[in-house]
């Protein structure tokens, strides 16, 4: 290598090292290990295999090998999940100025969370089965439940969200957000892990849906592509889950494509929100909100029973 090339490369390396010192908040150079992003993605895919065996990967299950393969997968997930949770809890402790070596409760706390998640999976299958039923009943293009699991991005996004939400509620940092942002990148559906979503949730098409952290969605709600359940201008730059910034969608509500609902508002039970409307106020139960063309432009019309 020529002297000139060596000098240029050394200069690049030196400037990068200086940059790491100047902006330590956007790197992680430490003795404290963090789980690699690809490891979390593999973990979430393996958990989905337990939820939908034979439909996520080209696995061949039968009555003879099912107990062995599922048992092997479950044990592997348990130990990996335990390690990853311990790593992020230790990282969080150091970020708060604590010494994670002194956190004797980490081992027990981590094991409890890992066991609880795995014990939750049979119940989660019941919940996801209701989500599948909602899609089958709500989408005339759907052919079968297996097709929905295999092909529908809305169900994939919701299944990953429900796993991430379980960990989020147990104050596991970082991992839930990696999970939901991974499935966001795959489906175009952005659901914060802190969102509360009831049973029988249907996302149709899904591309461009955004659901903010403090949103509450009750049972049997249907959303179409491009819906935003967001916040008004933030009061601070950091997340504040104790501040209700996002909408509450009561049960049996349909929100059509392109609708934007912002702030701590309530969409009343049984309402239908038409496409492309912009809502920042409460909507009474059983309302119909839609755009109507008039000579001077478009106007939002609301009808209640």
pLDDT at 19: 93
Q: What is the pLDDT of residues 179-230, one digit of tens each?
A: 999 999 999 999 999 999 999 999 999 999 999 999 999 999 999 999 999 9
pLDDT for 18 beyond 80: yes
For the chain, give every domain's residue range.
17-189, 208-305
Cβ pair 32, 92 in contact under 8 A: no
Q: What is the pLDDT of residues 91-120, one digit of tens each?
A: 888 888 887 765 556 778 899 999 999 999
In Å, how far are 153, 165, 273 from 255, measured between CA atoms?
18, 22, 5
Q: What is the pLDDT of residues 243-289, one digit of tens each?
A: 899 999 999 999 999 999 999 999 999 999 999 999 999 999 999 99
Higher-scoring residue by pLDDT: 99, 130: 130
Q: What is the pLDDT of residues 50-64, one digit of tens each?
A: 999 988 876 777 888
Query: What are the structure tokens assigned to 276, written together?
Result: 């492309």
pLDDT at 206: 95
pLDDT at 29: 79
Cβ pair 90, 103 in contact under 8 A: yes
Distance CA 164, CA 178 (A): 9
pTM: 0.89
Q: What is the pLDDT of residues 68-77, one digit of tens each?
A: 888 999 999 9
Average pLDDT over residues 164-172: 97
pLDDT at 104: 59
29: number of Cβ within 10 Å = 8
Q: Could you identify the residue written with the tokens 């899609």? A: 135
In Å, how far are 168, 239, 244 from 194, measured between CA atoms?
6, 11, 12
pLDDT at 102: 55
The fold for domain 208-305 equals UDP N-Acetylglucosamine Acyltransferase; domain 1 (2.160.10)
Confidence tier at 305 by pLDDT (50, 70, 90): low
Mean per-residue pLDDT over the chain, rounded: 91
Which CATH number is associated with domain 17-189? Answer: 1.10.3130.10
pLDDT at 77: 96
pLDDT for 140 beyond 60: yes
Average pLDDT over residues 30-36: 82
Residue 283: DSSP 8-state: B
% of residues, the chain, pLDDT over 70: 91
Higher-scoring residue by pLDDT: 95, 136: 136
Distance CA 181, CA 289 (A): 31
């Amino acid at each position: 290598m020529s002297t000139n090339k060596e000098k240029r490369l050394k200069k690049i390396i030196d400037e990068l090292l200086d940059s790491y010192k100047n902006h330590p908040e956007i790197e992680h150079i430490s003795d404290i290990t963090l789980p690699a992003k690809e490891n979390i993605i593999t973990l979430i895919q393996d958990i989905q295999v337990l939820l939908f065996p034979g439909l996520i990967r080209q696995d061949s299950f039968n009555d003879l090998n099912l107990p062995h393969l599922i048992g092997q997968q479950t044990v592997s997930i348990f130990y990996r999940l335990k390690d990853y949770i311990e790593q992020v809890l230790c990282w969080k402790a150091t970020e708060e100025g604590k010494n994670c070596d002194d956190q004797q409760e980490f081992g027990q706390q981590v094991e409890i969370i890992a066991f609880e998640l795995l014990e939750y999976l049979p119940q989660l299958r019941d919940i996801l089965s209701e989500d599948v039923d909602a899609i089958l009943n709500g989408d005339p293009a759907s052919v079968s439940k297996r097709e929905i699991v295999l092909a529908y991005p809305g169900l994939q996004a919701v299944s990953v969200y429900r796993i991430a939400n379980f960990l989020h509620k147990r104050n596991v940092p970082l991992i839930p957000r990696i999970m939901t942002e991974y499935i966001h990148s795959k489906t175009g559906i952005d659901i914060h892990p802190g969102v509360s979503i009831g049973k029988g949730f249907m996302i149709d098409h899904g591309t461009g849906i955004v659901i903010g952290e403090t949103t509450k969605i009750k049972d049997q709600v249907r959303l179409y592509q491009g819906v935003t359940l967001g916040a008004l201008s933030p009061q601070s730059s950091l997340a504040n889950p104790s501040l209700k910034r996002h909408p509450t969608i009561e049960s049996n509500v349909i929100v059509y494509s392109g609708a934007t609902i912002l702030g701590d508002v309530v969409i009343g039970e049984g309402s239908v929100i038409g496409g492309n409307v912009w809502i920042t106020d409460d909507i009474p139960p059983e309302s119909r909100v839609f755009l109507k063309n008039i000579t001077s432009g478009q106007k939002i019309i609301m009808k209640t029973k």
